[in-house]
Chain A
């Protein structure tokens, strides 16, 4: 279940942010999403990602601090969605 959710998030990140040179499975679960030189995401990418996650999973992220915490990595995103009882 967690593996499915992880892959779904990795895919969402790649498609939302048009990461053409990155395969979903190549984003390590603990790699920092924002500030990573490899992924090169900035805060506007984070905004797009937040909106995409809210739409895809039907959850609400309540504040910029919660958003920053959830978007630390794929693993923290999985944990965030699990806390909101999202299933894969």
Chain B
């Protein structure tokens, strides 16, 4: 017996992201044009190493103050004003990296100033001070489903009457520590990612990204155009780095979110990092649960923005839906054959759909899916 999806619909009052392409509209436009922000760069930054695909805001080497801070200031400038961090307007911060690049820089350079923002809560405290947030800031981290957990938690806060509005804020910057880790696993190698493609060798790219969303209750005007209607979360707990070979973990999560769609016609934005087995298991589970629904993935263009990918890709989704023409980017970086015939290699028209399923998966066998509905 598995838990059903949380059906706690909330409105999306605002949402944006920053990637190396720019804000969400610029990012969606770049993906629609089939562009990739990934470029081959040394896996250890200034310390060299093999060339691997990375999508970075700038040089990977950590600075004082942290090199990501100007990016986050740019993003935060677009957050609608509110008493963020107050009891009724809490902030949920999500990241899978926080300031680990600063910790790595400290171990290399022995400059204690890196420690001031290296640990997770210290890096969030820096943001709280910089952005003038109050003390009601909650922090989530669970590998690459992190942002989904933050969004699901925000919906629960709203439905429990514990908040009027919630700001979910997510960021992940690539460091030599993280890139080196994925490189040692041999999944971050010299090849560009081709999500859901059938090929001899899998590969991912790592990307940097930050995003925010303001979630509101639905009991009053104005009626939001976009809603997060449901969240499904599941952890198969099969192995640290491997999924159940039969895809049962993917199936549980996709079944739970499918049960919440209520007959809506949905398209699918998958996780699709570029690994072979993970991509195949995900695509097959989605195709079984949503026969004929087009599946797209954008990590071939953005790289894998790690714990923030769920919110970054949500912002891109909203920008694509909101742009004139309403075209959804296809699976950038991939060519056929693909592991299912539902994979959308080219952009497709959002007309005819009234919902989307957005998924993320993570180390440890964690799965997350959310239902986005739009009028």
Contacts and interface: CB of A to CB of B under 8 A. Distances in A.
Interface stretch (A23-31, A39-47, A77-85): A39-47
Contacts of A65: 200-202, 276
A43 B200 contact: no
Interface string A51-74: 100000000111111110000000
Contacts of B203: 63
B186 A50 contact: yes
Given A43-B239, A43-B242, A44-B240, A64 B185 contact: yes
- Interface size classification for chain A: 10 to 19
Interface in B96-153: none
A64 B202 contact: yes
B219 interface: no
Interface in B218-250: 239-242
A21 to B, nearest CB: 23
A44 B186 contact: no
Contacts of A44: 240-241
Interface string B233-276: 00000011110000000000000000000000000000000011
Nearest to B199: A65
A49 to B, nearest CB: 12
A63 B276 CA distance: 11
Nearest to A60: B50
A71 to B, nearest CB: 11
Contacts, number: 38
Interface residues of B, number: 18
A62 B184 contact: no
A44 B241 CA distance: 8
A63 B201 contact: yes
B242 A64 contact: no
Contact of B190 (A51, A62, A64): A62
B275 A64 contact: yes
Question: Which of A60, A61, A62, A64 lies at the interface centre, i.e. has the most chain B CB atoms within 10 A of its CB?
Answer: A64
Contacts of A66: 186, 201
A64 B184 contact: no
Nearest to A67: B186
Contacts of A62: 186, 189-190, 201
Interface of A: 42-44, 47, 50-51, 60-67
27 contacts: A42-B239, A43-B241, A43-B242, A44-B240, A44-B241, A47-B184, A47-B241, A50-B184, A50-B186, A51-B184, A60-B50, A62-B186, A62-B190, A62-B201, A63-B187, A63-B189, A63-B191, A63-B201, A63-B202, A63-B203, A64-B185, A64-B187, A64-B202, A64-B275, A65-B200, A66-B186, A66-B201
Given A51-B184, A63-B191, A65-B201, 10 more contacts: A43-B241, A50-B186, A62-B186, A62-B189, A62-B190, A62-B201, A63-B201, A64-B185, A64-B275, A65-B276
